[in-house]
Structure 1
Amino acid sequence: MSEPQWRKSSFSEDGGNNCVEIAVVGSGIALRESDEPGRVIQADAVAFRALTGWIKAGRWGVPGR
């Protein structure tokens, strides 16, 4: 299996190590923080869409939602 092609947000600072990176892995998505590249979490496409939907709606970190 080849190494994932990690992508950083366009909001990241140039050369900064303080952002979230994503990569397509099989039929899912892998997430990691650039300053800890060994810590990776994976989600299927449905779970990733739900996560990004919550973040965009401002629900991230709000208990009970």
Structure 2
Amino acid sequence: MKRPLDLSNAVWRKSSYSAGGDNNCLEVADGYPGAVPVRDSKRPEGPALVFPAGAWSAFVGAVRADR
């Protein structure tokens, strides 16, 4: 079983793919090779989802292509 990523020192930034309003912003943390931690900016103390980098890229590509 893989150990969860330690995100206690993560530096979060607003995702460039968020619409920018107060109600729908994602934050991502850089610096985790092979992984993309994502959290809801409205609940920074809440849980983060960690996606494999390839899966995140595929998701972002599909959103860009409006699929």
Query: TM-score w.r.t. structure 1 length?
Result: 0.67
Provide the rounded CA distance (Å) in 1 between the counterparts of 2:23 and 2:14.
10
Displacement of 1:24 in angstroms is 2.1
Corresponding position of 1:63 = none
SS at match of 1:39: coil
Q: Which runs of 5+ in 2 are unaligned?
A: 1-5
Corresponding position of 1:20 = 26
Provide the rounded CA distance (Å) in 2 between the counterparts of 1:25 and 1:5.
9
Deviation string, structure 1 residues 12-58 (Cα, Å, up to 9, x no partner): 35xx4641111125221111110122121011211110010111111
Question: Percent of pairs identical after alignment?
Answer: 37
Corresponding position of 1:62 = none
Which of 35, 38, 57 is the equivalent residue of 1:49?
57
Query: TM-score w.r.t. structure 2 length?
Result: 0.65
Instruction: Report the structure, 1 or 2, having the larger strand content.
Output: 1
Provide the rounded CA distance (Å) in 2 between the counterparts of 1:17 and 1:5.
21
Which residue identity does 1:20 align to in structure 2?
L
Superposed CA RMSD? 2.2
Q: Which runs of 5+ in 1 are unaligned?
A: 60-65
